[in-house]
Amino acid sequence: MNRSGEKRRSTFGFVCRLLTVILLLVGLTEAQQSQREKMDAFAKCLTQKHAAMYGSFLCSHCDDQKKMFGNSFQYIHYVECSQIGLPQDANACKLAQIRYTPTWTLNNGERLVGVQTLTQLSNKTGCSLP
């Protein structure tokens, strides 16, 4: 085979590999987007079911709980209990008699103290897991 044919075959192979990589990246991006949308829906459902998380920015366990939700935590009804937060939130924690953080309160009055798995929150609220 002459050089021209080898060069075309080499270029064709490169283009095929490049397209394969691009398609894989697009597929991963779509899967990540789908997972984010499911987590958003789960977080929104918890709030719609009147579940609330009481926590403190000083609490490492609260931070662990927040990380489980990633960016979807923005949809969680969260009450900051530290004195450095909003005064009305700290007062709400006192009125709700929150002693430990994180504490989840549910619509039926039940309290879940400590870090909860997504499965535990799903089971207690009826929200579908992501």
User: Is residue 110 predicted with pLDDT exceeding 90?
Assistant: yes
**Which is more confidently placed, 63 or 93?**
63
pLDDT of the residue at 23: 47
What pTM, to 2 d.p., does this model score? Answer: 0.72
Contact 104, 43 (CB under 8 A): no
For residue range 1-11, what is the model confidence (pLDDT) as tens digits? 566 666 666 67
- In the chain, the amino acid numbered 73 is F
Domains of the chain: 3-125 (3.40.30.10)
For residue range 32-81, what is the model confidence (pLDDT) as tens digits? 557 789 999 999 999 999 999 999 999 999 999 999 999 999 999 999 99
